[in-house]
């Protein structure tokens, strides 16, 4: 294969402990600051530190990307996307809890 067929991808693993500035979150999600602020107002994401310098956990990247997918793929409005994300995350929590219970009963 030729060199131009390869693309180098660099990334950073983001989790609850990671913190991003508003600008970093905008770049990570490909959205404007105004759009991110709308997501904050709707309660989809919440800055870990407010004031002049907002900071966001790495989990916010996932939530913002999910909102984008729900809006683009399903035509869901922002309020509907916020609700859908809450429900999806609750399902994930319940599935994780069920898996832990099943593991405990196996042993």
Q: What does the DSSP assignment read for 28-54?
A: HHT--HHHHHHHHHHTSS--SB-SSS-
- At 39-88, the pLDDT tens digits run 999 999 999 876 668 899 988 999 999 999 999 999 999 999 999 999 99
Q: Which residues contact 16 (CB under 8 A, 6 or more apart)?
A: 57, 58, 59
Contact 56, 47 (CB under 8 A): yes
Q: Is 43 left (phi over 0), alpha (psi -120 to 50) or beta?
A: left
Residue 99: per-residue pLDDT: 95
pTM of the predicted model over 0.75: no
Percentage of residues of the chain with pLDDT beyond 70:
80
For the chain, the residue count is: 107
Which residues are registered as beta bridge partners of 20?
Answer: 56
The CATH code of domain 14-106 reads 1.10.1660.10
Neighbours of 22 (CB within 10 A): 16
Q: Token pair for residue 50?
A: 């407010």
**105 pLDDT more than 70:** yes
């Amino acid at each position: 294969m030729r060199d131009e067929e390869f693309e180098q991808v660099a990334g950073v693993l983001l989790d609850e402990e990671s913190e991003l500035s508003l600008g970093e979150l905008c770049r990570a999600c490909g959205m404007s600051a105004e759009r991110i602020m709308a997501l904050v107002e709707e309660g989809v994401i919440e800055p870990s530190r407010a004031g002049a310098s907002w900071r966001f956990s790495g989990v916010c990247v996932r939530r913002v990307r999910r909102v984008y997918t729900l809006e683009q793929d399903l035509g869901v409005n922002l309020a509907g996307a916020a609700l859908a994300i809450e429900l999806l995350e609750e399902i994930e929590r319940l599935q994780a809890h069920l898996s832990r219970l099943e593991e405990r009963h196996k042993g």
